Structure 1
Amino acid sequence: MVRFKNRWLLVEFIPSTTPGPSAAPHLTGKDIFAALRQSVIVHFGDVGWGAVGSSLNVKYFSPTTGLCIIRVARDPYRIAWGALTLLSSIEGQTYTPNVVHVSGTIKHAQLAAIEHNRVVIARFRARANTPAGYQDSYEDYLERSTRELENLQD
């Protein structure tokens, strides 16, 4: 029995047109997949798409933080990473993709995503000058996103 080995890319999409750290609410995982597919085809041609196309999958996307988990086969994962780096716009809006973490298992991608969400929420709170014990809507978001991330299956 042969196991398919994957790489999991944890990517943050930062909108370039708005000063806020959250992504546009209309962006979806399907939009990201379509833009990434187009970027692979434009920059790496049909050979590049043939290498990554069968394994490329957007497993998770959070419109609140712009965080996305993408699965791709282990051997051609650098093609997908390069296409992400060269990606300039999704659905007409300009984004800067930031690859936060690359891992070999979904579990490590989940842990990195949970930690990244905590860091982003801490930045939001620091900008708002809220005390450490202050109860806000970010707590609910952290709990909800942690549950969603932990429930992801390979």
Structure 2
Amino acid sequence: MIVEVFLDPNRDLAGHDPIIITQFNVSKGIKDSILVNFGECGLASSLASFQVKYVNPITKLCIIRASREEYQKVWSAITMVRSIGNCPVLFNLLDLSGSIKACRNVTLKYDELKFEQYKPVVGACLAIDAIQILEH
């Protein structure tokens, strides 16, 4: 699954620390949601195949792996995640595919589109390391 994470836009205005989307906190948010909504048995059956394979902290795109038998449960849990840490978030499913390679190709296209959108907005203010992250 390719998902996009939307952070609460009012969080920065309230003076809170910015949250950085990582594989760990996305994985923890989804696992917590599986546990709350499907119980320990649902979590145990999902953990065998569940993995957050890729997270881009700038474009906020993620690749999430789940088996064919468990993807609906994981997908349902993703839609019910309301926060990562103390930051309210929403997940938007962009694509569902049968292989990681296909997901990677689609994610690269989405990353390129988002990067093109960010260029005029931030221009030269974008740090060199951020540009390298976006280009990989």
TM-score in terms of structure 2 length: 0.81
Is the 1:121–1:138 contact (alpha carbons within 8 Å) kept by the matching residues of 2?
A: no
1:63-82 maps to which residues of 2 (within 5 A)?
63-82=57-76
Structure 1 runs of 4+ aligned residues shifted over 6 Å read: none
Distance between the aligned counterparts of 2:96 and 2:128, measured in 1? 26
Alpha-carbon displacement from aligned partner over 1:92-135 (angstroms, at most 9, x marks no partner): 10011111111111111011101111221232246x398xxxx8
For residue 103 of structure 1, give the secondary structure of its aligned residue in structure 2.
coil
Could you tell me which amino acid in structure 2 is paired with residue 116 of structure 1?
Y
Among residues 111, 122, 136, which one is paired with 1:117 in the alignment?
A: 111
Whether 2:49 is the aligned partner of 1:60: answer no
Could you tell me which amino acid in structure 2 is paired with residue 16 of structure 1?
D
Report the identity percentage: 24
Is the 2:19–2:87 contact (alpha carbons within 8 Å) kept by the matching residues of 1?
A: no
Equivalent residue, structure 1, for 2:15: none
**RMSD over equivalenced CA pairs, Å:** 2.6
Equivalent residue, structure 2, for 1:108: 102
Among residues 16, 22, 45, which one is paired with 2:8 in the alignment?
A: 16
Specify every segment of 5 or more residues in structure 1 that has no aligned partner in the other structure, as ranges. Answer: 1-8, 148-154
Alpha-carbon displacement from aligned partner over 1:60-119 (angstroms, at most 9, x marks no partner): 111111111111111110100000001000001001111111111111101110111122
For residue 73 of structure 1, give the secondary structure of its aligned residue in structure 2.
coil
1:41-56 maps to which residues of 2 (within 5 A)?
41-56=35-50
Task: Measure how far apart 1:56 and its partner are.
Answer: 0.8
